[in-house]
Structure 1
Amino acid sequence: MTEFAPRLFDSDEAVRHLGEGLLACSLRREEWTHEAHLAATLYLMTARPDIDVDARIGDLIRAFNESVGGVNDDHNGYHDTITHCFVAGVRRFLTEWQGGEGLAERVNALLVSPMGHRDWPLRFYSRELLFSVAARRGLVASDIVAPPGTSFSG
């Protein structure tokens, strides 16, 4: 996979904007990047204890996708297994984090950590399984090894 340098955040407000924008479906489509997915997830986990991220993240992302004219089908839009793999990664990152409390500081550290890399789920899933319709539509068991802190293995 081609390695991309992550786009880092310059303020806590930029992270908060993504988290609250996801909830309100008020983001512009072009704002919804890989980095934004992770920033919004970390924000929801740390600043919005009223939201059960594991239970609601799929509905939140699907609703956002539809709000900007996207579709959630067998080939486009929301991908359940990738999303839940990254949710597990963000959770693991937060349990290991030894730095400060700033949102941007934590998100930027996450983005440069192994859990923030775009290809992190491929440590646990073969490409064939991860990009299958079954994995897009629902959480499938890992065919390599379960992501740390999960029971995603078969």
Structure 2
Amino acid sequence: MGNNIRITKKFAFETGHALYGYDGKCKNVHGHSYKLSVTVIGKPISDNTNVKYGMVIDFGDLKKIVKEEIVSVFDHATVFNKNTPHIELAKELESRGHNVLLVDYQPTSEMMVLDFAKKISHRLPSHISLHSLKLQETDSSFAQWFAYDNI
């Protein structure tokens, strides 16, 4: 049963957003230099004929998944909740050639990390589980998702 190992890879991307209906400065369009730490858990491959022998997952394979699902989608995009009047602002920005991402949630770090957990989990090999995510919005503010909080 033992021998589970956690593997973490870090990513960085720049994303703009605005929080519709918020009572502070974040109601304005602004951006963050997000840092995302992705931790998976599994047993190292024990088959010594496998090219990935001794690895839980190849860091390159994890990088490919997270880049495709998260980084390449969110980097240098502006994220708006499509269920708010921000849809009009989004259409205007798109018409001017801006990269706009419309999501069905308020684009807070908390909701983004929930979205990321779903997207990454669906792409992982069956013998590996998503253990946790940490999405840092600023040096002093971050949201975390843990699998064991969501069983």
- Band of TM-score, shorter chain: under 0.3
The structure with the largest helix share of the pair is 1
Query: Rg bigger for which structure?
Result: 2
More strand by share: 2
Structure-1-length-normalised TM-score: 0.27
